[in-house]
Amino acid sequence: MAFQGAAAGSFAAGLGTGLSLIVAIGAQNAFVLKQGLLRRHVFAVCLFCALSDAALIAAGVAGAGALASRAPWFLSAMRWGGAAFLIWYGLRSARAAWQGGEALAPEGAVLPSLAATLATIAALTWLNPHVWLDTVVLLGAVSAQSPDRVAFAAGAMTGSVLFFFSLGYGARLLAPVFARPAAWRVLDAAVALVMWAIAATLILGG
């Protein structure tokens, strides 16, 4: 019974810690929100994010966090690669905001394929040092203090699943607002600012 109590406590701690780290507005979350609004490849994007988080959390709990913290070249490479991609993606969003014309279902629009969509979310996930720091380093460090690291990891992974699928499928509640192209211009401008802000923190924080 004591073991079960420890496991439950560790699961709850992992769930709470994981959610507290993931809910912050970031490049990955902004992309999931936009896909949810478009209702394009939502399940695939949410599943990819959840599975990626699960892999990174597992690595952190297994001890990869300590290895990453001892390899400055790894985080440095991630930092510059991630910053370059975020700057490019921000420029793309800024151009969309400037040109306008996007809506929930624009007629004749050529939307990205599943492969292109997954390639973008893969870059936003795996080239983002913040994702690595949150999942591998921070969660890995916190899990070391937990009486049941497996339960802690399971809780953190559950938090990722709940968050990404809630964000992706909950975005459609905003569909009436984003039926207007002007709302998309605001969203694209906001996404561009988020991308550039994160890129700036990566560049200046090094």
Q: Helix %, strand %, coil % for the chain, to 5?
A: 85, 0, 15
**41 lies in which domain range?**
1-205
- Least confident among 61-75, 95-109, 126-140, 143-157: 95-109
pLDDT at 104 over 60: no
CA distance 136 to 70: 13
Please state, in angstroms and rounded to a whole number, the distance separating the CA atoms of residues 193 and 87: 10
- Cα distances from 204 to residues 8, 73, 197, in angstroms, run 40, 17, 10
Q: Measured between alpha carbons, how far is 50 from 75 in angstroms, rounded to an integer?
A: 22
What are residue 157's phi and psi, to 5 degrees? -65, -40
More confident residue, 73 or 102: 73
Per the listing, tokens 């004591």 go with 2
Number of separate domains in the chain: 1
Is the separation of the CB atoms in 25 and 194 below 8 Å? yes
- Looking at mean pLDDT, say which of 78-87, 95-104, 156-165 comes out highest: 156-165
pLDDT at 3: 47
**What is the distance between the alpha carbons of residues 121 and 46, in angstroms, rounded to a whole number?**
10
pLDDT tens readout for residues 134-178: 787 777 777 777 778 888 889 989 999 999 999 899 988 887 877
Segment 71-78 shows an average pLDDT of 66
Q: Mean pLDDT, the chain, as a whole number?
A: 79
Residues 105/109/115/121 CA torsion (nearest 10 deg): -60
- Which of 1 and 40 is assigned the larger pLDDT? 40
pTM for the complete prediction? 0.72
The pLDDT value recorded for residue 108 is 43
Tally of CB atoms within 10 A around 79: 21
